Amino acid sequence: MEVIICADATEAARLAAGKVARVCRDAGPEPVLGVATGSSPLKLYAELTRLVEAGVLDLSRASAFALDEYVGLPPGHPESYAEVIRRTVTEPLGLDQSRVHTPDGFATDIHAAASAYEAAIRAAGGIDIQILGIGANGHIGFNEPTSSLASRTRIKSLAPRTRADNARFFGSPDEVPLHCLTQGLGTIMDAHALLLIAQGEAKAAAIAAVVEGPLTALVPGSVLQAHQHATVIIDEAAASELR
Positions annotated as catalytic residues are 68, 137, 139, 144
Q: Which of 142, 206, 211, 234 binds ligand F6R (CB under 6 A)?
A: 142
Under rule CB under 6 A, residue 195 binds ligand F6R: no
Question: Is residue 67 within the footprint of ligand F6R (CB under 6 A)?
Answer: yes
Q: Shortest approach of ligand F6R to residue 57 CB, angstroms? A: 22
**Using CB under 6 A, which of 105, 133, 184, 220 touches ligand F6R?**
133
- Identify the residue among 43, 77, 139, 156 touching ligand F6R (CB under 6 A): 139
Residue 66's Cβ-side half-sphere holds a number of Cα atoms within 13 Å equal to 28
Q: Is 68 in the site for ligand F6R (CB under 6 A)?
A: yes
Question: Which region, judged by CB under 6 A, interacts with ligand F6R, from 18-26, 95-103, 130-138, 209-217?
Answer: 130-138
Establish if 220 lies at the interface with ligand F6R (CB under 6 A): no
Q: Is 141 in the site for ligand F6R (CB under 6 A)?
A: yes
Residue choice 31, 105, 135, 138 for contact with ligand F6R (CB under 6 A): 135
Of the residues 38, 103, 138, 220, which one makes contact with ligand F6R according to CB under 6 A: 38
Q: What residue ranges bind ligand F6R (CB under 6 A)?
A: 36-40, 67-68, 133-135, 139-142
